Structure 1
Amino acid sequence: MPVERPLLEIDDLVSLIYSGPMETPPWQRFLSALADRMGARNAALVLRLSRQGIPPLVVWGKPPPLSAPDVRRIHARHAEIGHLDPLRNALDRPGAIFTLDEVVDRDALSSSQFYREVLGPWGLEKQLGMYIAEPGGWEGNIGVINGADDPDFDEDDKAMLRALRPHLEQALAIFARITRNETELQALIDTLDRLTISTLILSGSGKILRANSAAQRMLGAGEVAASSGGRLELVSRAPNKQLQQLIDKALATTAHRDGPAFVEAMRLESPRSQHIGVLVRSLRRASIQTHDSAPAVVVYFAGAGQVQPVERLVTQLFDLTPSEAHLATLLATGSCLGEAAERLRLTENTVRTYCKTILNKVGVRRQTELVRVILRSVAVLG
């Protein structure tokens, strides 16, 4: 029976595992250290979503000993005939762990197409792989690799990977959440770019965390607003004082997790005598804990000439579905619940349920407050 390696022996590897999701490419430092610790030539991680048509993410711990064109060619070929990979096919469940020699006869491997076109050019003769997965759908294989003249991997090496598995899968879940949140946020930012609405996300300390392309152009021009010490400031003194007051109020609202959201708007004139609408909105915290570096406030800028359909603008600003935006627009333009229900061909009870959802998303408690926020937002940014 193999002897488990002492926990202290893998402590530094565990630290690298949990810093991996924030690296580019992810886990490269961990893979390099893992190869060194196990006396292997290299280590690699192949990650994929458990859906067809999603290309895998391949990360090597150390630079492959091939030219860049050869690497691209072999990766492309690997993607085409990956179903012939005997080790990958054997790693069919979380926790499965095998050496290459355990799953295929050496003579059969040497005569296979996968060996000739993928393994052989890499010089990959000996491998140890393990399957990892997380509940959100990300899965993959982690492996260490040796050449023909190197020793094969043994039970102690398997024990090392098994000890690291829970940490790898927890870090993979963190990576999945970061990737999902970044993708969703980027989708919203891209949409606002298409609407030519400058969007800036501020931290709990009031500093700019992110700015979409329209906002970057606006800050770069320096005619309306600029970044000073990482903070958003308007060029004109009096409007800037008003903006800072709104941002301070939004930050104060963010500190109270269960309270209503803060939404206020203001208008200013650009040097070209164009009216600019500014909307300041607090963001709800994702957890009980808060810190100054977390997203806290979003600020929108839009010119008066950028006319958008009201429902489309409401949908983007308050994360409403098209049906919710339609109902919110009807209420904001004077319809009562009964009239809105008739227009939408829904029961009044259904409309009341929708209205509760809309109030929660917009961050207000009453229908009159909803109308005020919708009208003000559309008047300023529409």
Structure 2
Amino acid sequence: MAISAKSQASAATAAGATALTGTAAWPLLDRLLSAIYEGPLESPPWQSALQMLRDTLQAGHVTLMLRPPSPDSAGVMINTGSTTVEAVKSYETHFFALDPFVRLQEGEVVTAEELIGKQWLDSPVYREYLKPLDIRHLLGADMYTRDGIECRLRITRGHDAQPFTAAEKGLCSTLLPHLKRSIQLHARLDSLECERQLFAGTINRMLLGIISFTQTGQILEMNQEAKRILGEKDGIWLSGSTLTADSVQEGRELQRMLKQAFSEHSPASDEEGPGVVQALSITRPSGRAKLGVLIRAIPLGQWSESRQRPGTVVFLRDPESSGAQPSQELVRRLFGLTRMEAQLALLLTEGLTLDEAAEQMNVRRNTARTHLRSIFSKTGVTRQTMLVRLLLNSVISLG
């Protein structure tokens, strides 16, 4: 029977602060370390580990400041324990600037009194902020990385509780380097996720459908354009995890290409390297232009071990698909055009003739020709086809 995070937390509470030393602490330490390294995959991150640490230390709060508040930002804090939105906001907007319990020495676990002395109880932060929240004992540690990350771990107890013991501080000192490594892993994962979202957004704006498969042919992910194309069931659709074509001949060729791409990851192909990219046109019964299909096997990395990684990707292109029109303001600023010139240029990229564009703009043909000559002069092209190619190859499709 699986043990839930809540059950683990209860076990940690039962162990409590009485089992923080010796071999009796090993099962507790194992649970805490496991939660710390699983933290980057949670949302909010490290919620389970912080709650487990709070239960173990019988603390009022355990807070991890991933990004401490500053005059320019409210910061990012992960809280466990009883908190209110007002209390968090008051610290983020005011009391953080008055807090003397900051910028602790790397890796050092200290109480507020050890760092500041008895005058800590006379500080505005304690008297005006912490005391009304029933926070008397404060234990903290700060972590810094070469990448400029600064994180703060803060643990509290109320006025009726005992001060933190040496054993409890020792437990935090043991956990601290592991938490720092986990934070660095989280930062790396977050960076990769930002890149993934950036590239995925760019692909979506380019109206390119993408389907990624595992090495064994199971679908991992599809973007919106792929879902749209397959959802129309016009020439190609999805049956379970299998791409199916209306044309029997095209369907056979599609399956052959997919099978070959999947086989790139079999043991027998280890010495052959990545296969040649394969392409196919899919006829649409509706009579619309054929869909373009491109299949590429993704080579395994040197240290790849997961069978759930993308192994093959299928690209789908609908030549008749039209996305949101690029911003006229973007075109105007990019090429130094007037608003009328930018509107004309975009209409021409949509395939309209000069006469059709003039009619849609509600101007005379001679006026449109005057705008076109001005566009030629500003962009350095001499023909309408060159202008369209220039615009389509520019960054306006990414805007």
TM-score of the superposed pair, with normalisation by structure 1: 0.67
| Match of residue 98, structure 1, among 110, 127, 132 | 110
Q: Contact (CA 8 Å) 2:137, 2:163: kept in 1 or not?
A: yes
Kindly provide the amino acid, as one letter, of the partner of residue 251 in structure 1: F
Kindly provide the amino acid, as one letter, of the partner of residue 86 in structure 1: P
User: What residue number does 2:259 align with?
Assistant: 248
Mapped partners of 1:136, 1:258: distance in 2:
40
Superposition pairs of residues 212-227 of structure 1, within 5 angstroms: 212-223=223-234, 225-227=236-238
User: What residue number does 1:36 align with?
Assistant: 55
Percent sequence identity over aligned pairs = 26
Structure with higher RCO (Cα < 8 A, 6+ apart): 1
User: What residue number does 2:306 align with?
Assistant: 291
User: What residue number does 1:17 align with?
Assistant: 36
Mapped partners of 2:230, 2:87: distance in 1:
44
Superposition pairs of residues 219-368 of structure 1, within 5 angstroms: 219-223=230-234, 225-229=236-240, 231-236=241-246, 238=248, 239-254=250-265, 256=270, 259-260=273-274, 262-272=276-286, 273-305=288-320
Kindly provide the amino acid, as one letter, of the partner of residue 304 in structure 2: Q
Question: Following TM superposition, by how much is the alpha carbon of 1:146 offset from its aligned partner in structure 2, in angstroms?
Answer: 1.2
User: What residue number does 1:339 align with?
Assistant: none
- Gaps spanning 5+ residues in structure 2: where? 1-19, 324-392, 394-399
Structure-2 change in CA distance of 1:126 and 1:245 (3 Å):
farther
Equivalenced residues, count: 297
User: What residue number does 1:57 align with?
Assistant: 76
Q: Is residue 157 of structure 2 the alignment partner of residue 146 of structure 1?
A: yes
Mapped partners of 1:290, 1:49: distance in 2:
37
Question: Following TM superposition, by how much is the alpha carbon of 1:235 offset from its aligned partner in structure 2, in angstroms?
Answer: 4.6
Mapped partners of 1:122, 1:240: distance in 2:
68
Deviation readout 1:271-306 (Å, 9 max, x if unpaired): 432321112222233442333211222221111135
Kindly provide the amino acid, as one letter, of the partner of residue 302 in structure 1: R
Deviation readout 1:239-264 (Å, 9 max, x if unpaired): 34333332332233355498246422
User: What residue number does 1:211 align with?
Assistant: 222
Mapped partners of 1:109, 1:251: distance in 2:
67
Q: Secondary structure at the match of 2:64?
A: strand
Mapped partners of 2:259, 2:152: distance in 1:
48
Q: Contact (CA 8 Å) 2:235, 2:247: kept in 1 or not?
A: no
Structure-2 change in CA distance of 1:264 and 1:83 (3 Å):
farther
Question: Following TM superposition, by how much is the alpha carbon of 1:103 offset from its aligned partner in structure 2, in angstroms?
Answer: 2.9
Structure-2 change in CA distance of 1:51 and 1:75 (3 Å):
closer
Structure-2 change in CA distance of 1:151 and 1:51 (3 Å):
closer
Which of the pair has more CA radius of gyration?
Answer: 2
Mapped partners of 1:188, 1:75: distance in 2:
35
User: What residue number does 1:174 align with?
Assistant: 185
Question: Following TM superposition, by how much is the alpha carbon of 1:170 offset from its aligned partner in structure 2, in angstroms?
Answer: 2.4
Structure-2 change in CA distance of 1:83 and 1:17 (3 Å):
same
Mapped partners of 1:178, 1:161: distance in 2:
25
Q: Contact (CA 8 Å) 1:29, 1:61: kept in 2 or not?
A: no
Mapped partners of 1:307, 1:154: distance in 2:
66
| Match of residue 199, structure 1, among 207, 210, 218 | 210
Mapped partners of 1:111, 1:35: distance in 2:
25
Structure-2 change in CA distance of 1:211 and 1:157 (3 Å):
same
Q: Contact (CA 8 Å) 1:31, 1:43: kept in 2 or not?
A: yes
Q: Secondary structure at the match of 1:90?
A: coil
Question: Following TM superposition, by how much is the alpha carbon of 1:144 offset from its aligned partner in structure 2, in angstroms?
Answer: 1.9
Kindly provide the amino acid, as one letter, of the partner of residue 60 in structure 1: N
Kindly provide the amino acid, as one letter, of the partner of residue 234 in structure 1: T
